[in-house]
Amino acid sequence: MDAAVESLVRVSHCRQAYHKEANTDLVVLDDVNLSLREGEIVALLGRSGSGKSTLLRIVSGLLRPTAGEVLWRGRRLDGPADGVAMVFQSFALFPWLTVQENVELGLEARGVARAERERRAEGAIDLIGLGGFESAYPKELSGGMRQRVGLARALVVHPDLLLMDEPFSALDVLTAETLRTDLIDLWSDGRLPVKSVLMVTHNIEEAVLMCDRILVFSSNPGRVASELTVPFPHPRNRLNPEFRQMVDDIYALMTRRPKPEPRALTAEPVSPMATALPSRVGTNLISGLLETLAGEPYHGRADLPALAGALQYEADELLPLAEALQMLQLAVTEEGDIQITETGRRFVEAETDERKRIFAEALRTHVPLVRMIRQVLDERWNHRASAVRFREELEDHMSPDYADDTLRTVIGWGRYAELFSYDEEAEQFSLEDIA
Peptide bond connecting 233 to the previous residue in cis, omega within 30 degrees of 0: no
* Pairs from 424-432 (Cβ < 8 Å, separation ≥ 24): 427/386, 427/387, 427/388, 428/384, 428/385, 428/386, 428/387, 429/373, 429/376, 429/377, 429/384, 429/385, 429/386, 429/387, 430/377, 430/383, 430/384, 430/385, 431/377, 431/378, 431/383, 431/384, 432/383
d(CA 310, CA 292): 11
φ, ψ at 374 (rounded to 5°): -65, -40
Give the residue with the Cβ less far from other proteins, 166 or 316.
166
Closest CA to 252 of 315, 295, 310, 206: 315
> Could you say which DSSP state residue 412 is in?
H
Give the residue with the Cβ less far from other proteins, 131 or 258.
131
Give the residue with the Cβ less far from other proteins, 78 or 378.
78
Task: Tell me the β-bridge partners of 15.
Answer: 67
For other proteins, which residue of 6, 22, 64, 299 counts as binding (CB under 8 A)?
A: 64
Alpha helices (H) along 156-278: 173-188, 204-210, 241-255
Give the residue with the Cβ less far from other proteins, 105 or 332.
105
Q: Is the dihedral of CA 147, 148, 153, 154 positive or negative?
A: positive
Which span sits near other proteins by CB under 8 A: 55-63, 236-244, 247-255, 395-403?
55-63
Residue 140 as a binder of other proteins (CB under 8 A): the answer is: yes
d(CA 83, CA 302): 46
Which span sits near other proteins by CB under 8 A: 56-64, 177-185, 218-226, 313-321?
56-64
Closest CA to 148 of 120, 178, 174: 178
Which span sits near other proteins by CB under 8 A: 1-9, 57-65, 318-326, 353-361?
57-65
CB of 224 to other proteins, least distance (A): 22
d(CA 379, CA 339): 38
Residue 19 as a binder of other proteins (CB under 8 A): the answer is: yes
* Total residues binding other proteins (CB under 8 A): 38
Residue 94 as a binder of other proteins (CB under 8 A): the answer is: yes
Which span sits near other proteins by CB under 8 A: 136-144, 194-202, 236-244, 348-356?
136-144
Kindly identify the residues of this chain, within the stretch 155-184, that bind other proteins according to CB under 8 A. Answer: 157
For other proteins, which residue of 7, 60, 218, 406 counts as binding (CB under 8 A)?
A: 60
Give the residue with the Cβ less far from other proteins, 66 or 181.
66
Give the chain's end-to-end CA distance (angstroms, integer). Answer: 70
CB of 7 to other proteins, least distance (A): 21
CB of 293 to other proteins, least distance (A): 34
Give the residue with the Cβ less far from other proteins, 21 or 296.
21
Could you tell me which residues come within 8 angstroms of residue 266 by beta carbon, excluding any fewer than 6 positions away?
A: none
Residue 71 as a binder of other proteins (CB under 8 A): the answer is: no
Which span sits near other proteins by CB under 8 A: 132-140, 268-276, 358-366, 373-381?
132-140
Kindly identify the residues of this chain, within the stretch 412-431, that bind other proteins according to CB under 8 A. Answer: 425
Residues of the shown chain interacting with other proteins in the complex, contacts defined by CB under 8 A: 18-19, 57, 60-64, 66, 78-80, 82, 84-86, 88-92, 94-97, 105-106, 108-111, 137-140, 153, 157, 425
